[in-house]
Structure 1
Amino acid sequence: MSANPTMPSLDSTFQSNCQRIFDAVQQVITGKPEAITNALTVLLAQGHLLLEDVPGVGKTMLAKSLAKSVNGSVHRIQFTPDLLPSDVTGVSVYSPQTHEFTFHPGPIFANIVIADEINRANAKTQSALLECMEETQVTVDSITHPLEQPFMVVATQNPVDSEGTFALPEAQRDRFMGRISLGYPQREAEISMITGHHHHEPLETLSPVLQLSDLQQMIEQVSSVTVTERLSSYVVDLGRASRNHPHIQLGASPRALIQWVRAAKARAAINGRDHVLPEDVRSVAQMVLNHRLILTRRAVADGVDTQDLIQELLASTPVS
């Protein structure tokens, strides 16, 4: 989280606010600094985050603590096999008194929406999120309703081989800027976690460290971070290399490359710079690509690892 003093930097308020969010979330999620930094990166880049891991490692806690730290409106949706699209987006209800239909907003109308265990719902309900995530709006009965700003979906899911789960469609996975896994904590962090929960629930004592207006200002600062044509070409070359790799059936889409650049801009800002370097592009590559690349059947059968492929792409693609 520390800035490089030799590089041009953003104002000190931005750096201070980043650190305050990081410290607040770390009170709840101990021993996972990289996961917290990735989540903060996606938040500042106005993306959506997918947390995938086994049950009980803190996926929902990370989402809740991130939401609570910025004092925005937060809604949680528990995805289940019988969840309907209207349970997410809302529904128009007829009023006998006024003889008119009144729209009742669903839980998607919030600054941060926690879609808990998203892959336990059927594909029809999962697809209800597509318009929300891509266009930040909901259309019900041919009427469009804009969502609150800023807007972010933090979805949690269990591994696809877990009981009662459905695979997310490729189109929906592509809407998530990044996917991260928490993994089990280190021994010392786990001891600290267990000891802390003896006395209180850390999330209950977490207070907001920023107002929503502060977060919106930080997002605007991230959008002004400079990306040179050389860096844009580098991202495009990486994306095209993923599409031409013999082990990859489906590579990075143009949408993925756009989100990759936005994530790199946020990472550069977090590192205290007002311009993107190749190291920023590389530092978010795993998060941006690991849920988007579809391997060939032969590669899957041979046990090829997606993370190794991403590292290979980064190593073999020069900055032109």
Structure 2
Amino acid sequence: MELIRDDSSSSGILRSAPMQRDWISFWASHDEGASLAEADITAPILKEKWRRYFKAIAIDETGCRLLDIACGKGEVASIARAVLGLAPTITCVDYAPSAIEAIPADAKVDHALVADAADLPFQDAEFNLIVSLYGIEYAGENAFAEAARVTAPGGRVRLVTHLREGAIWRDCEANRRTASGILESGVFGASDETFRVMARIRRGEVQPDSLSVPLVEVKKTVPALQAAIAVAPAGSSARALGERLYTDFSRIFGRITAYEPQDILNWSAAMKGEIEAYRSRMTAMLDAALDEAAVVNLSAKMTEAGLDMAPAEQVISDGDAIAWVLEGSRN
């Protein structure tokens, strides 16, 4: 797989440096196929729909060029390779280098490019199969025009995006509430003050009973912390993160004198940073999700760019909408 970088531009939801950092960190640390893993309950239906899509299309065995925009770890590219075999030349694009680097070898991706989906570094009409799963919408409106621009005559486009107020959107909203509730509970500030007092005790600057006051302040944060975790959807990454934090804090405070103060201060800072980054990602998902008016507008713009767009459809899972599907072709 050839890895190329094009860091010349940024746009859309990912324009801010903190947001870029949070997503790059996510891809670097996540062990699962992240765009699907964020919504495990819907992953099987999405995977199956992509399999059926690739099985149903006819491709040029000698010249199929597939582009996966905002590819993440290459879930869609992997499915395409498994279904279509070695026929297509597959190119993946994502803003995060860590996502590109994590594309599995069995996807047999031919080219992988670090670049902005809203300013694709490709010639007009360079690809005849354009796909995206929960990614292109983060790059903003121009990314959809770019997808149309690089579509060759006879080519197809299939973009699956987040749907505002759908099932995944509501889960993201609950996950963000959990992350915000944890951060606003005061547990990190109260705990860190306790750890700093413990360090002063170790240095002989204050008496051991100086821990009593900060420990009381820590206990005051527990109800808010528990309430924040309780609103997270069952089985969600937010609940798992909150429960891990609660368990770790319980273990630390159960034998607080056994730890080096600086070690647990460092741990606390890392956990707080992880939760802040998680909240940032949930916010990005909520902001990037499309309502019907946005989908109609984007379809119109892609039509203006020369594509014949089908009416947008919703993916339904257990009776609830989870995504938009925008499909089109260039005659």
TM interval, shorter chain, is under 0.3
User: Which structure has the larger Rg over C-alpha atoms?
Assistant: 2
The structure with more helix, counted as a fraction of residues: 2
Greater relative CO (CA pairs within 8 A, separation 6+): 1
Normalising by the residue count of structure 1, what TM-score does the alignment of the two structures yield? 0.26
TM-score (norm. length: structure 2): 0.26
